[in-house]
């Protein structure tokens, strides 16, 4: 997910999307433990997407308080 797409989302949408992505990451890890994935770089991509969304969410919440 690109940064511009994340910045367009509302705070509630970001919170929901973060939870969904965390569940997807957990599911991928579980599936990888059972049968190895071909492309393990997806783990890194999802983790970075989650971190990006958390950072932008914090920025939005801080801007909303001020």
State the pLDDT at residue 8: 95
> How do residues 33-64 score in pLDDT, each as one tens digit?
999 989 999 999 999 999 999 999 999 999 99
Rounded distance between C-alpha atoms, residue 2 and residue 46, angstroms: 12
pLDDT of the residue at 41:
95
C-alpha 15, offset from chain centre: 9
Mean pLDDT to the nearest integer, 12-34:
96
Task: Tell which residue, 28, 29, 27, 20, has the closest CA to residue 49.
Answer: 20
The pLDDT value given to residue 66: 87
Q: State the sign of the Cα–Cα–Cα–Cα dihedral 55, 60, 61, 66.
A: positive
The total number of structural domains that make up the chain: 1
CATH of the domain at 14: 1.10.287
Residue 36 belongs to what domain range?
Answer: 3-65
pTM over 0.85: yes
Helix/strand/coil for 35: coil
Write the Ramachandran bin of 52: left for phi over 0, alpha for psi from -120 to 50, otherwise beta.
alpha
């Amino acid at each position: 997910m690109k940064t511009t797409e994340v910045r367009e989302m509302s705070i509630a949408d970001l919170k929901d999307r973060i939870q969904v992505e965390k569940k997807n990451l957990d599911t991928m890890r579980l599936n990888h433990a059972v049968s190895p994935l071909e492309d393990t770089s997806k783990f890194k991509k999802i983790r970075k997407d989650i971190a990006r969304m958390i950072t932008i969410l914090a920025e939005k919440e801080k801007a909303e308080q001020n």
